Structure formats: structure tokens, C-alpha cells
Amino acid sequence: MTLHIKESSAWREVLVPSVNVSGTWKSVKEVHIRHGGSWRLSHTTPHTLYNLGSYVVDTNVGIGEFGSYTIPTGQGIAYIHLYVEGQAGGGGGGTYTPSYWPCSSSTVVNTGSPTSNVHMGGLGGLGGTITNIHRVEDGDYVIWDGWGGHLPSNGEGGAGYMLNVYPMAASTGYPSLGAYTATTGENGFAMTSSIRDSAGNVKSQINAAGGRGGAGSTITLNSTCTESPPQFRGFNVSGTDGAIGANGQASNYVSLGSGSVSVVHGDASHDRGTRGNNNYTVANSGAGGNAYNVGKIKIKLYSPINY
């Protein structure tokens, strides 16, 4: 509903009504009229007609850390711009065998240098983000928490896996045939937040999910062969790279009350865990990289033109 006044015989829309309080003009958030014995809302000044200030909160948040911010009183703040960001996921571990003699049919190929087999873990998923514009009153407050839940959720990289089928004698024992998988990276932790009134009642819940951990890659020992006469053992080895972890945006959660004006979901920019790989040495474990160990929260205030 819009508000109009009659000026010089013409009706004109009023976008930002003001009242004079003790000689000072102050912008009005809402105008109500009495109609049929009941008060009815006739005008709400939109957030686009307020001045959006700089950040009053702009902080990184670790797992298990929490905080709050209270809307200042007596300044006519009608809206906030709230941004929450979950942590990215850790990278999946890589798989490899540093060196081995391959098979050609049933014959060991042991000329030249031994071959190797490397497969990369998956990148960690990006953290989810939520941007919410929300109506507030004096004394409302925002609380937040870096929440890991009941599962490992701190964006750590997965462990790598090395398949030991180094060039060996035909008589040496060897690993069982089959697939071996490196460890999946941990999920990133979520950033939970809520907007509450001065009595602590939740007005809206806004939770930005953490990115999922990248999958560990797989290395498969398919078959073995020996020379005739037996001297060396050869192997057929294959594998697959790990899948990239899902971005947290797909798991964001919002429960919005009537004060919510808009909500936008997105992907964060903080570093996610790198793919596990190796340089064919036992010293390099093939572990996936850890995600940047923070979530984030940012708040701006919409201030009235006159106050």
C-alpha cells in the first residue's frame, strides 16, 4: 500500500514520511491508520530508501566460536544486511604406487624404468553463503556460531594411500587384488545464525552450510604376473580420481519470518582443500589439503535519511 498527500490540488506519493520531534525531523518506518476500529498498516518505507552503512561486524569465525550483535537503540535502524558463510570442505586424499613392473598379457615388462600410478583426490566443496536483508527493531540482536554438528566437520584433508607393489621378486608376497581408496576430506562446518527480538524469540534462522569434503581417489590392483623362469613379479594397476565435494549452498537452511525482505544463496570464496597427490616418495603422503579454517559473518545497518 502506498501513502499519498494532496498538494496544490494534486495527489503526490510520499516515499519517506517524516515527523518533527522536538524540532528534529525523523524518518518514519511505518504509518498505520485507524479503520473500522482496527489499526491497519498503510505504508512501510522500503530498505532501498535508507542509507546502507559500512560493516559494523566483519569477522572470521572458527569452529565452536560464537558471538552476537545488538541493534543500537534510538537511531531509527529499520533493516540490516546480514551475510553468513560456511567453511569449505577438505580435499580428498590421493592414491599411488611409486614404482612397479607392469604386465603385458602374462609377461612381466621389466625393461627400462619401472612405471608408476597416480590418482588425485577431489577438491573440497566451497562453503555456502546466505545474504539476507531483514527488518529489525531497536534491541533486536543477531547471534552466530561456527557449528560442526556431530560428524567430523572442520575441513581437514583426507589421508592418502600408497599401494606397495614396488619391483619385487616373484616369490615376494603382494597385496590382495582389489580396490584401495584414500580417505575423503572432512566437511566444512556450518555457520548458524539467527535474528531475535529483545526477548530472545527467533524472528528468522539463517544457516550457511559447509562445503563437503572431496572424495579420496581409488587405486585398483587388477592382476599379477610372473616371469618364466620366475624372477620378478608384475602387476596391472588402474584407478580413478576422487570427485569434487559438493558446495555448501545446496545444503543451506533458512526459516524466514515476516521481517525478511530478501534472501540470496551463493558460494564462498575462502580456500577449499586441495586435491591430494604425491611425488612418488613415501615421505609425501598424498594427503588432501585442509580448507581455510574459518566461516564468516558480516552485518551492515540501514540508517534513515533523517533522524
pLDDT tens digits for range 224-283: 999 888 889 999 999 999 999 999 999 999 999 999 999 999 999 878 899 888 654 544
Give the tens place of pLDDT for each residue, 248-265. Answer: 999 999 999 999 999 999
Contacts of 130 (CB under 8 A, 6+ apart): 82, 83, 84, 206, 207, 208, 252, 254, 263, 264, 265, 266
Question: Contact 66/190 with Cβ under 8 angstroms?
Answer: no
Instruction: Count CA atoms closer than 13 A to 64's CA, side-chain side.
Output: 4
Cβ neighbours of residue 263 under 8 Å, at least 6 residues apart?
130, 131, 132, 133, 206, 254, 256
Give the pLDDT confidence of 97-118 residue by residue, as tens digits.
888 999 998 899 988 889 988 8
**In Å, what is the CA distance from 79 to each residue of 52, 139, 143, 260, 262?**
9, 12, 16, 9, 11
50 grid coordinates? 535508507
Residue pLDDT, tens place only, 19-41? 767 767 777 777 667 777 788 77
pTM of the model: 0.85
Residue spans per domain, the chain = 1-45, 50-303
Query: How far apart are alpha carbons 33 and 25 in whole angstroms?
Result: 21
Let me know how long the chain is.
Answer: 307
